[in-house]
Amino acid sequence: MSSTHLAGRTAVVTGAGAGLGRAEALALAAAGANVVVNDMGPAAEDVVSEIKELGVGAVAVLGDVSDWSLGDRLVSAAVETFGSLDVVVNNAGITRDTMLFNLTEAQWDSVIAVHLKGHAAVSRAAAVHWRNASKAAGAPVYGRIVNTSSEAFLFGSAGQPNYAAAKAGITALTLSSAQGLSRYGVTANAICPRARTEMTANVFDADPNGNELDILAPERVATFVSWLASPAAATVNGQVFVVYGDMVALMAAPTVERKFTSTTGTFTVEELDEQLVPHFADRSPRQNYAAYSVAELDTTGVQPLNR
């Protein structure tokens, strides 16, 4: 049986001072991993204390993931403190929700910087380490990247043009990382989670079932992240999962709905008009590239709050 334990491994978790990141850090620690806890403020030290109570090591590295150099600091902290780097969980994020016509440059830049640049900065530093380690060993090493995307990129959320774009970018970064690093023994996967945290405090209604473990508890997502980080998930690479409540849904790759081919070898606008207009006639506005059907997976009974 494949092992789900992480004893002797070291993980880096960004944005781990609270919410989903904290739950992920604790889940990895419960599986036996030492954890480098990243966040912007002193809450990271509190999580370090919680992890140490589980009998494994932990160290806090404070800083903003949008600072490119922080990636190197996190990798160095893992290697210098615990002797290895095995798992990276990119979780840190912010929201600056607004409609596109109200979007400011600052709102765009800050969300892209923390989410997309932050994922890239930490992943790049880890990739450098793993590539060098693999070359030195003359064989693949152990490496896991778990990135945090969102259903916002699947739906194209109208009030989140910056956030949705960042999450789409993170998904593409994940696929590129999976292809580029697999030869070194590294896997990269993305999760689209729903979790009740401080960042989503104004998003979800209360758990209608009154479960002891909230149906949207971040611990539910963290369990899956711990599994993805384990040896058991060695063959899982370049995948995207929607994760929350009582389910994990594996997303399929996009498919071609229909191919249009010129009858003469070169399209004219008239022929394009002749072929495409009938195809889109009477088409539902929701029948587009957005994956609205994913919403039908929801069995939580939790309704979104009106904003």
Pairing of strands 247-250, 10-13: unpaired
Token reading at 256: 């071609």
Catalytic residues: 150, 163, 167
Residue 20 to residue 53: CA distance in whole angstroms: 19
Amino acid letter at 258? R
- In a 13 Å sphere around the CA of 15, the CA atoms on its Cβ side amount to 21
DSSP of 18-49 = SHHHHHHHHHHHHTT-EEEEEESSTHHHHHHH
